[in-house]
Structure 1
Amino acid sequence: MKKLLIALTLLSSGLAHADAVDALRDFARDVKSGKANFTQTVTAPDGKRKKTSSGSFEFERPNRFRFVYAKPFEQTIVADGSKVWIYDADLNQASSRKLADALGATPAALLAGANLERDFTLKALPVDGGIDWVQAVPRQAESTIQLLKLGFKGKELAAMEIVDGFGQRSRLDFSAVQANVPVTADRFQFKLPAGADLIEQ
């Protein structure tokens, strides 16, 4: 589930601050579907140990998305609008749970959900590394997330950063972002591979 938590600054003018928040609002309102590649870096609370993975991300509002981790381990996370499925290729094991139980005020909800302003309080942060950052604070108490930020370059989604309740930091950097491109419905349907175990929660 940490990967599902896997996908949220400006030192200049107040107008620029508004633009960073507006970029996220525009993304939530105008981008109905999309595709991107990502590289994820997970840093331990001590700041020393790091793990890197990469893969692809597809989504269609509301509440349909597909994360595929390709390296170093294969894992697929699919939300079909009612359930979230997580498949670990090495274990040949899948688990599923109701979308409402799995999503809540999470990064995936921020990217693919339908109620940005209802679920999150938004605040512009200083520019960092050429990226305009927006902090998204869940309106309901969410013990599994300390911090959630989304980064934009202009109107394009560039990065996401999450700090979980244990102080572990996950950062996803997006590339080859394609907004409002068609994504076929079967991409959000999970089919249990032959011989795989299924754990339903």
Structure 2
Amino acid sequence: MKKHLIALTLLLSGLAHADAVDALRDFGRDVKSGKANFTQTVTSPDGKRKKVSSGSFEFQRPNRFRFAYAKPFEQTIVADGTKVWIYDADLNQASSRKLADALGATPAALLAGTDLERDFTLKAAAADGGLEWVQAVPKQAESTIQTLKLGFKGKDLAAMEIVDGFGQRSRLDFSAVQANVALGAERFQFKLPAGADLIEQ
């Protein structure tokens, strides 16, 4: 109850927006590992078509993460600190590329990187849907991303929204978020399944 009163006081005084930027800075500094479930909704540029997928997300700083999509198709994206691996179960095909080439100013860098403000300029955005939002603007020209926002409920990461260079919008809503949990090293190692093709980029 006390937490809600503080949040309400901040909203009324117009200071909550700055708080969302602080929440992201705190997240980047204090949260060394975490896991959550997610639902991802991808909306076409005209807003008429939507695709929904879901799965789980885990990360450990620096630069280790695992996105495991379960529905409607199985796909796994794993970063082991050196490389990023993408595995498509339906195709039984994996691809890999160097982390430095793949990470940069990306959503994954915001969640699992080590220095947010080296790669992004952080700005408070308007509150929406019960969340306080932070816009993260890549410092290097990044043609694949138009805008990138993170939504917080208090200090807790609740959502991420990305608009790509084509105007397609992706929103991830996080649930069952656990911060600073013990995660085994094997969670961030990729083993090529038997018979799978590997494409190295």
Q: Which residue of 2 aligns with 1:154?
A: 154
Q: 1:55·1:70 contact (CA, 8 Å) conserved in 2? A: yes
- The reply to whether residue 20 of structure 1 matches residue 4 of structure 2 is no
Which blocks of at least 5 consecutive residues in structure 2 are unaligned? Answer: 1-9
1-structure distance, mates of 2:52, 2:111: 21
State how many pairs are aligned.
192
> Quick one: which amino acid aligns to residue 42 of structure 1?
V
Deviations 1:1-60, CA, capped at 9 Å, x for gaps: xxxxxxxxx986452221010000000000000000000000000101000000000000
Q: Which residue of 2 aligns with 1:31?
A: 31
1:31-180 aligned within 5 A: 31-180=31-180
Q: 1:11·1:126 contact (CA, 8 Å) conserved in 2? A: no
> Quick one: which amino acid aligns to residue 189 of structure 2?
Q
Which blocks of at least 5 consecutive residues in structure 1 are unaligned? Answer: 1-9
Q: 1:159·1:172 contact (CA, 8 Å) conserved in 2? A: yes
3-state secondary structure, aligned to 2:193: coil
2-structure distance, mates of 1:14, 1:109: 29
2-structure distance, mates of 1:119, 1:32: 18
Output the TM-score relative to the length of structure 1: 0.94
2-structure distance, mates of 1:166, 1:183: 36
> Quick one: which amino acid aligns to residue 111 of structure 1?
L
Residues 25 and 63 (structure 1), Cα distance of their counterparts in 2 relative to 1, 3 Å cut = same
Deviations 1:128-176, CA, capped at 9 Å, x for gaps: 0000000000001000000000000000000000000000000000000
Q: 1:11·1:127 contact (CA, 8 Å) conserved in 2? A: no
Output the TM-score relative to the length of structure 2: 0.94
Larger radius of gyration: 2
Q: Percent identity?
A: 89
Q: Runs (4+) of structure 1 moved beyond 3 Å?
A: 10-14
Deviations 1:78-133, CA, capped at 9 Å, x for gaps: 00000000000000000000001111100000000001011100011111000000
Question: Which one has the bigger helix percentage?
Answer: 2
1-structure distance, mates of 2:93, 2:18: 45
